[in-house]
Amino acid sequence: MTFWTKLKTTLAMIKFEHTLFALPFAFLGAVLAANGLPDWRQILWITVAMFGARSAAMTFNRIIDRRFDAENPRTANRELPSGKLSVKFAWAFLIVSVILFEIAAYSLNWLTFALSPVALLSILGYSYAKRLTSFAHLILGWSLAISPTAAWIAVRGALDSEIPLLLSLLVMMWTAGFDILYACQDFEFDKRAGLRSIPARFGIKNSLWIARLFHVQAFLVLVLLYFVTELGWLALLGVAAVGALMIYQHTLVKPNDLTRMNAAFFTTNAFVSVILFVTFGGAVFLAK
């Protein structure tokens, strides 16, 4: 396998394109913390930290779940169960990713470095969650929700406002909701394998309602964030657009028809984070 082929396969393993889900939230947390554009070094190390953390989390998840992935027809062709990448290589990539994350955390400030083990424990521990509890979707939400607050701390060196906490709560509930939707695809397999996803426990119909409830909560937090930040018309436009996208996402998925799940999961979710970054982040600069 050539270097470029291996790189492409590795990026596929960690779903590099899904970085769009979390990275804009980290950048938004940084912009809100700086009340404008952060220092270029902060932007650089926040980006490196996000890449390292997400790469480590996804790789560890693929290593730990490779037996389940091999048994599930939807995931059997993933890079580890199919043999496209070796487990040994995945462990090496994981270690490098963790080191990269720690270097970035250290390069930002002492508090980001001191809290980095908490972030690592959260993002790596998620891989075991579905074996233990139906709250796994919320644990995944927590893992992604760390990023905006972490970026705030990276810029300010302190957690001195409710703003990043509200942004993180929004990310947590939004992520948990769409993860429940995505897990509906594995309803039958999760039940057979004894995995404790919400669809496996409550069925697809009830799970769709739980996902809607989580997204209603996320939207209410977004409205509260808007009033707390007082960022004006552009941020309000972002609130309206995200609300519309959340509603649209749920029209795509029905208990007896999950064929449009990819559109609901990948397309709309990527837009949510980008829209909030552009509108709330842009409003920060308009307010200056």
Return the CATH number at 274.
1.10.357.140
Q: Which two tokens stand for residue 32?
A: 């809100």
Q: Which two tokens stand for residue 144?
A: 């992604």
User: For residue 265, what pLDDT is reported?
Assistant: 64
Banded pLDDT at 250 (limits 50, 70, 90): confident
Residue 62's CB: how many other CB atoms inside 10 A? Answer: 24
- Rounded-to-integer distance, Cα 40 and Cα 80, Å: 37
DSSP letter assigned to residue 17: G
212, 251 Cβ separation under 8 angstroms: no
134, 198 Cβ separation under 8 angstroms: yes
Judge whether 1 lies within some domain.
Answer: no
User: For residue 74, what pLDDT is reported?
Assistant: 84
Residue written as token pair 């980008």:
274
Q: Which of 217, 247, 210, 50 is nearest to 135 (CA)?
A: 210
pLDDT over 90 percentage in the chain: 64
> What is the average pLDDT score of the chain?
90
User: For residue 188, what pLDDT is reported?
Assistant: 87
Residue written as token pair 């075991």:
128
Mean pLDDT (whole number) for 197-207? 92
Judge whether 6 lies within some domain.
Answer: no
Judge whether 8 lies within some domain.
Answer: no
Q: Which two tokens stand for residue 79?
A: 């890079």
196, 244 Cβ separation under 8 angstroms: no
Output the CA–CA distances (angstroms, integers) from residue 257 to 50, 77, 182, 253, 266, in the order listed: 35, 23, 13, 6, 17
Judge whether 13 lies within some domain.
Answer: no
Judge whether 91 lies within some domain.
Answer: yes
54-57: long-range contacts, CB 8 A cutoff, minimum separation 24: 54/14, 54/19, 54/22, 54/123, 55/14, 55/93, 55/94, 55/97, 55/100, 56/94, 56/97, 56/98, 56/101, 56/120, 56/123, 56/124, 57/123, 57/124, 57/126, 57/127, 57/143
Banded pLDDT at 3 (limits 50, 70, 90): low
User: For residue 254, what pLDDT is reported?
Assistant: 80
- Rounded-to-integer distance, Cα 127 and Cα 129, Å: 6
Judge whether 239 lies within some domain.
Answer: yes
Residue with the bigger pLDDT between 30 and 4: it is: 30
Mean pLDDT (whole number) for 100-106? 97
Banded pLDDT at 5 (limits 50, 70, 90): confident
> Residue 244 sits in which domain range?
18-286
Number of domains in the chain: 1
Taking 70 as the threshold, does the pLDDT of residue 266 lie above it? no
Judge whether 87 lies within some domain.
Answer: yes
Mean pLDDT (whole number) for 154-167? 96
Helix (H, G, I), strand (E, B) or coil at 257: strand
pTM, 2 dp: 0.91
